[in-house]
Amino acid sequence: GVSVEPADGLAPVWNSDVKFYCVKDSSNSPVAYFYFDPYSRPSEKRGGAWMNVVFSRSRVLARNGSPVRLPVAHMVCNQTPPVGDKPSLMTFREVETVFHEFGHALQHMLTKQDEGFVSGIRGVEWDAVELPSQFMENWCYHKNTLLSIAKHYETGELLPEEIYAKLVAAKNFRAGTFSLRQIRFASVDMELHTTYDPNGSLSIYDVDRRVAERTQVLAPLPEDKFLCSFSHIFAGGYAAGYYSYKWAEVLSADAFSAFEDVGLDNEKAIEETGRRFRETVLALGGGKSPLEVFVSFRGREPSPEALLRHNGLLPVAAL
């Protein structure tokens, strides 16, 4: 029920590469705006990619007779810029990144909350802040979606079937190992920030080794000191919260499975499911707890089954 249109010239930009867009609803009325700054400029911006708030939706801060101030977001990436006559040719990882950041932006822009402190991405509990972004990444592996954008820039030839198959296979390569790795990190984080006694007989490395015994197939080397560089939980805001990475994968995979359940090729059913996703996950922001929001969309509490299936980790029945 929404469309995105270029709105260059409607707002000032900080670089000629930056584009400005308007998001409209089905009645063609603006509901939000966003900036997109796609290309790397090492002298001006840090690496990585992010989405952030310019303005939140707010009834109190509305101006010029408008009933509500519309939300504005910015998305910043570091794609390889065009060179000469050659356009910027995105890697698959860069495509995933754009989908990811646009998921954050959608939650900010399609909010129905009129109180700025809980509208959009503001006030969303840490557990669920990555749900819309990781949900959007699933569409990169949906064949029809990917083939609608992945074309040879000169000939228009569609992405070959064998390359698509390799992309899907690569996604699940060592998925079990990487899942166990994240479980190890989350378990160590939780124990160190809940029950660990720094004045006791065990060091933080002892805790890590004990956790690794039950979560790793291959034991870490005796001299392993990865905790020294685990900035997420000591200096990055994820103390007792690193589990949210894996939990967000559970939520996003389960949310995407709602679309799989109705049939990804059933356009009408996809639209109806997408509308429900918009009215719950994207619209409610921090105005309700994430669990309430998820249950409103899915009709039940989250299940890890979809994530295990997407990662190829469910047992296959013998023929």
**What's residue 88's pLDDT?**
93
Over residues 4-53, the pLDDT tens digits come to 999 999 999 999 999 999 999 999 999 999 999 999 999 999 999 999 99
**What's residue 310's pLDDT?**
94
Return the bridge partners of 73, or none.
34, 53
How many other C-beta atoms lie within 10 A of the C-beta of residue 239?
Answer: 14
Over residues 154-168, the pLDDT tens digits come to 999 999 999 999 999
Place of tokens 């900036």: 35
Quick one: average pLDDT of 184-206? 96
Q: Which domains, from first to last, does the chain contain?
A: 2-123 (3.40.390.10), 124-319 (1.10.1370.40)
CA distance linking residue 180 with residue 311, whole number of Å: 13
Quick one: average pLDDT of 243-272? 96
Quick one: average pLDDT of 245-263? 96
Place of tokens 């029950």: 195
Give the lowest-confidence range in 13-22, 161-170, 234-243, 309-318.
Answer: 309-318
CA distance linking residue 30 with residue 22, whole number of Å: 7
CA distance linking residue 200 with residue 148, whole number of Å: 58
Over residues 55-103, the pLDDT tens digits come to 999 999 999 889 999 999 999 999 999 998 899 999 999 999 999 999 9
**What's residue 316's pLDDT?**
64
CB 55 within 8 A of CB 68: no
| Catalytic residue (one of 5, 94, 96, 101) | 101
**What's residue 281's pLDDT?**
97
Over residues 118-164, the pLDDT tens digits come to 999 999 998 899 999 999 999 999 999 999 999 999 999 999 999 99
The letter for the amino acid at 172 is: N
- Strand ranges across the sheet with 72-79: 2-6, 19-25, 30-39, 72-79, 50-55
**What's residue 119's pLDDT?**
95
Task: Tell me the pLDDT of the chain averaged across its residues.
Answer: 94
Closest CA to 270 of 164, 145, 111: 145
DSSP state of 150: -
Confidence class of residue 317 from pLDDT cuts 50, 70 and 90? low
CA distance linking residue 241 with residue 189, whole number of Å: 8
DSSP run (H or E) holding 192: helix 175-192
191 in catalytic set = no
DSSP state of 199: T
Distances (CA, A) of 47 to 91, 92, 101, 251, 286: 16, 18, 14, 27, 29
